[in-house]
Amino acid sequence: MGNLCTCFSPKTPVKTKKPTKRLQGNPQTAPNSSNRWTRIRSTRKDNHDDLIHEQALAAAILFRQHQQQNGSASGSFPFDRSVSLRHPNGSGSKKTQLPRSSSSRARSLTDPLLQPHQLVNQDIKFDDLETNHLVLVHGGGFGAWCWYKTIALLEEGGFKVTAVDLTGSGIHSFDTNGITSLSQYVKPLTDFLDKLADGEKTILVGHDFGGACISYAMELFPHKVSKAIFVAAAMLTNGQSTLDMFSQKAAGSSDLMQQAQIFVYANGNNNPPTAINLDKSILRDLLFNQSPGKDVALASVSIRPIPFAPVLEKLSLSDLKYGTVRRFYIETPEDNAIPITLQESMIKSSPPEKVFRLKGADHSPFFSKPQALHKLLVEISKIP
């Protein structure tokens, strides 16, 4: 607007003796200097925005390439665990290198910063394993995205990894309010197992409500499951529902969960709830109390409603099918969603073959203790 007014204002002669000489040295007059500064600042801001956009686009391309090569065990894409700009190690001093993590929390000795080749036993022989294929099943509200650190570590170690999005979860487009049964919710997992070749086996890894989901799949396809690993998960008994499991909590321990739950009544208030939303202001305290802030931010924009009907459904588990699959449990002692006392109660009711404990882990160890979780998954896969 200042430039526009200048163009239409009458020109008056300048009475100074050397205006031409000064103008040749600096074409910008004083009234226009502020406009010039504004343009410079605007250009810098635009360049900064472009840089952020390019980095985000590069990260998306990396993740897409990682998904496309998910089925390759030997030639998997070396997916970076950080999408931040990196500088070559040889181009500057160590003092100018960027930190590997933006988290302000101190790194625990139970989750050391190690390279994948240090975590995976170099003497491991995949031919000696019954299977090196791990299928990761997320918990309620989560999606395959929550396993991104675990996927990278396992694939870099030579394992084959499949992370599924259950119905209405992650990038699965189905409306959560339309899910009416556990079989419908677990269908992406059961379809995947059904299509496996005869004789091919997997290791199922279930987190949270994903524990009930892998139990359901174990009953249907026991011959295709080598081991089942429950990570801070619902490990139910025959005739029990996930809601039954949560009702076992000691008095007062479920206050945080109750505060976080927001019931959705898509079929009207006179009908049962169709889904459960989680209050995002309580997410950190409930699910991520030991996790880095950047992962909490990822979860806050990615978590979807939890279908209510599958949570109510009681499982039918038999000794001849479900009971033939070897089970392992990984405890998370700093868990505020499924407290350690409740985890131990489930273990006591239906003892697995072996129990492991991730010291310092919250309800989401794939965020809070990714290295230590990876090490345990590899260790369990090697148990003969």
**165, 335, 362, 374: the active-site residue:** 335
Angle between helices 148-156 and 370-382 (to 10 degrees): 50
191 is catalytic: no
Cα 232 to Cα 74, 226, 280, distances in angstroms? 30, 20, 21
Q: Are the C-beta atoms of residues 138 and 170 closer than 8 Å to each other?
A: yes
- Residue 114's SS3 state is coil
138 is catalytic: no
Q: Are the C-beta atoms of residues 196 and 190 closer than 8 Å to each other?
A: no
Query: Of 382, 380, 384, 376, which Cα lies nearest the Cα of 150?
Result: 376
Q: Is the dihedral of CA 266, 268, 274, 279 positive or negative?
A: positive
**111, 138, 165, 208: the active-site residue:** 208
Q: Are the C-beta atoms of residues 337 and 259 closer than 8 Å to each other?
A: no
Given the DSSP bridges, would you call strands 160-164 and 202-208 parallel, antiparallel or unpaired? unpaired
b/e burial code for range 108-117 (CB count within 10 A of at least 16 → b): eeebeeeebe
Query: Of 182, 189, 117, 103, which Cα lies nearest the Cα of 154?
Result: 117
b/e burial code for range 44-56 (CB count within 10 A of at least 16 → b): eeeeeeeeeeeee
49 is catalytic: no
At residue 11, what are phi and psi to the nearest 5 degrees? -85, 130
Residues involved in catalysis:
208, 335, 363
